[in-house]
Amino acid sequence: MTGGEEAPMPARRAARGLALWRRLFAGGPQSIADGELVGLVLADQARSVPACALGRELLARFGSLAGVGDALPHELMAVGGVSAGAAARLAAAAELGRRCLLAAVGERPAILGPGDVAQVVRAAVGGAMHESFHVLLLDTGHRVMGHEEVTRGTLASCLVDARSIFRTAVRRAAAAVVLAHNHPSGDPTPSPEDFEVTWRLADAGRLLGIDVLDHVVVGRPGHGRAESYVSLRELGAFDAGTTRPLLARYGPARDTARPAQTADGSS
């Protein structure tokens, strides 16, 4: 090859890949853009398309890095240039990240707000295409004593039984619980049924002396929302009147619960 000739395509890709590796080692992985990180995972498997370009195409197709991580292997392979090996590596990398997150949140974290709840649930469910209902058991300092998936349903709904929710909470003497479930569609907008379940379980918790601090619906980034979850407490589901948003820490549910009705129906 003479000085005026352009390097073959494989050589140019190798040079770009080497430069990216050098940036990663010099500045750490946090210095690499999302599309480039995806490209690094795909580098040895992406043949027909440059890896970083393919990473950016995946981000555009699935909307975000979280969307790429939640995608199933066959969905990844629907993007031109993603081979079975590339899809497997990317799915494995996403699952490894989820398991690292699950291990980190398994160290009895304090639940200070709905974002903490969403983090725990998302680490457990990943990109599951079924809806599942979860209960976080908390001690008096609102630290997680346990996390259970109490029921699993179809894509549309799951059945929630109060006995399943509170059986372990009573046995382990939990001071409070937080309810959560995922919306496989990715849209965390609560349904009327979500509010009904919240009120029913909050009433059951009061009878047992266990505070239900919140019910968090967990989705995925996008859908026109700043956050990928919705707190029913912040929407006012636990309030007698106006909404009282969370500040830094959940307050006792009994302070903001709907007032119990008397026999004549008055509050």
120-143 pLDDT, tens per residue? 888 777 666 778 899 999 999 898
Give me the mean pLDDT over the 246-250 stretch. Answer: 38
- Model confidence, pTM: 0.57
Are 237 and 200 in contact, with CB atoms under 8 Å apart? no
3-class state of residue 139 by DSSP: coil
Q: Would the pLDDT of 214 be above 90?
A: yes
Q: List Cα–Cα distances, 37 to 65, 201, 218, in angstroms.
A: 10, 43, 25
Q: pLDDT tens digits, residue range 138-162?
A: 999 898 888 888 888 754 455 677 8
What is the strand order of the sheet 144-152 is part of? 144-152, 132-138, 176-182, 211-218, 229-231
**Domain spans of the chain, in order of start:** 9-102, 110-256
Q: Which of 3-12, 33-42, 82-91, 92-101 has the lowest mean pLDDT?
A: 3-12
Higher per-residue confidence, 240 vs 253:
240
The predicted pLDDT at position 255 comes to: 38
| Of 175, 191, 189, nearest in space to 253 by CA | 175
Q: Would the pLDDT of 69 be above 90?
A: no
Are 110 and 82 in contact, with CB atoms under 8 Å apart? no
The predicted pLDDT at position 185 comes to: 84
Give me the mean pLDDT over the 104-110 stretch. Answer: 64
Angstrom distance (rounded) from CA 131 to CA 119: 16
Q: Would the pLDDT of 49 be above 60?
A: yes
Q: How confident is the model at residue 14 (pLDDT cuts 50, 70, 90)?
A: low
Angle at alpha carbon of residue 219, lines to 193 and 86, rounded to 5°: 140
Task: Reply yes or no on domain 110-256 having CATH 2.20.25.10.
Answer: no
